[in-house]
Amino acid sequence: MKNQKLKDLKKRKLKLNNELKQFILKSITKNEKLTKPTRWNACLKLTTKNLTSYNTKTQKRCVLTNRKNIIHKNYKLSRLAFLNFARNGMILGIKKSTK
């Protein structure tokens, strides 16, 4: 479990580092005012980048429990951790409803 968490953190750091480079290269390839060789070189650099920097390779994980299944998108918590916090009243504005 700890090893998966470390791998996930490493992938996220790599993604953050490559995100700005990818944005710049994409803007260069779309800019038609630049010469063709510079646009072509930028396109080549985009295609030869590291595969782990793509969004699909990073796994969404819970901050507390490190579970990778159902993650609440606003709170970045797993379903179980979110319900536990809601029951204890630790998340403002949310409480468990009972019938």
- 54, pLDDT greater than 70: no
Provide the pLDDT confidence category of residue 91 given band limits of 50, 70 and 90: confident
**DSSP E strand stretches across the chain:** 71-72, 77-78
Q: How far apart are CA 53 and CA 84, in angstroms?
A: 33
Query: According to the model, what pLDDT value does residue 50 have?
Result: 62
Cα torsion 48, 52, 11, 67 to 10°: value is: 160
**Amino acid (1-letter code) at residue 42:** A
> Which pTM value belongs to this model?
0.48
Residue 28 contacts residue 38 (beta carbons within 8 Å): yes
Residue 50 contacts residue 17 (beta carbons within 8 Å): no
